[in-house]
Structure 1
Amino acid sequence: MVICTQNVHSGELLDSYYGAKVPPSSVCKSCEFIVPQESTSLRTQSGDQIYISTQHPSSQPRYAALRQTIMRVFTIESNHDMNKPLSFGDSKNGYSVSLGFKLIDDTARGSERRYSLIFTCDSEQKLYENYSVILDQLIAMVKYITTRSMHIIGNRRKNENNNETYLRRGSRMPKIKSIIELLQDDNFFVKLHLWASSLLDQL
């Protein structure tokens, strides 16, 4: 879990939604929530709705439910076309729709890194009433991410000698990287927060 955006009503106690700073020793670089000024959260308000993004939810039951959802997504995806959305859920862990994607990275095991955007709702009915809007937004964000990644890779390969690249690739060891490094965008999580907030605000 790298970033979690939640919808909060303005009358609710906001402090209960802010996650604590995760010690560097407790999270690998590829899973680190990195935002400007080393903040632990991002916040946007629209009317009486507040959208908060943190590394993970402060609520232990919600955190446990999301971990189960994430594990299920990546377990199912091993036998599933990542270009197609997944829909599943139950009353305990919530109802979810997810869309996975891969980013090419020569320093990763298998030369690729796998990610997934997941939308989770407590109500199955509300999820499916808004399914088209949610899926359209997931597709748009995945397209933005993968297009930017391919553009960066294309530019890098244009500047490299193919033979030298081949020789270097053979000697590379798997390396831990944040998606921020892959996309060369220090504000990526800020953009992801704004996108998620906009999606929630439409529903």
Structure 2
Amino acid sequence: MQNFYIASLAAGDVQPSAVSIDINVRPWHHMKPLKFELKGLFNVDAAPEPVRLVLEEVFDFAERGSTQYDQLEDYKGHARQHVIEKLDAARDEAINKSREDAARWEIIDAKHSEIREGFVYLLSNVLMPGVYKIGFTAGHPDLRAKKLSQQHRLPAPFKVVQYWRTRDPYLVEQRVHEALAQHQKPGEFFEVSVDVASAAIATHLIAP
């Protein structure tokens, strides 16, 4: 059949523009209009019955393929939209959570800033040699160390290495953290010597 079709084109019996295939057209959808062109080209109605049966089966196959192609395209479209919606929802959730976290930290910062006098402390833990926690508290540093030990649930408790009384302890703590930023580990922990940490804290103390 293909050889005959090519020969017909070569002889000029059929114009290529009448049955040309646009490479941008989906192949299954191209078969629908091509079906009628082929029927006329090969005079299918006058062909012997076995030939007609074979051709009709080919055309039916193309029809089913086109239908399944449409279904697949619809599924891909729905699946793509579902993925987009999930990504949008995840993005919105992340943005909302970020805003909530920011708002929560603003509240915490405001509360901490209200503490006019307290302590900046230096804590150690035998499980973290050479690493110290630098923080502040309005209460006694020993009580703070005990509370932190309970919160972190480490096998060994935090111990107070040294503490300093100061005005605006939260502000002092933040300035010390900035001064020792190159030594900071996750959280309020610093890999630094006691002498360097103590000197940084002493530099930023505000006399009561």
TM-score class, shorter-chain normalisation, is under 0.3
Query: Which structure has the larger Rg?
Result: 2
Task: Report the TM-score when normalising by structure 1.
Answer: 0.26
Greater RCO (Cα-Cα under 8 Å, separation 6 or more)? 1
Greater helix share, 1 or 2? Answer: 2
Task: Report the TM-score when normalising by structure 2.
Answer: 0.25
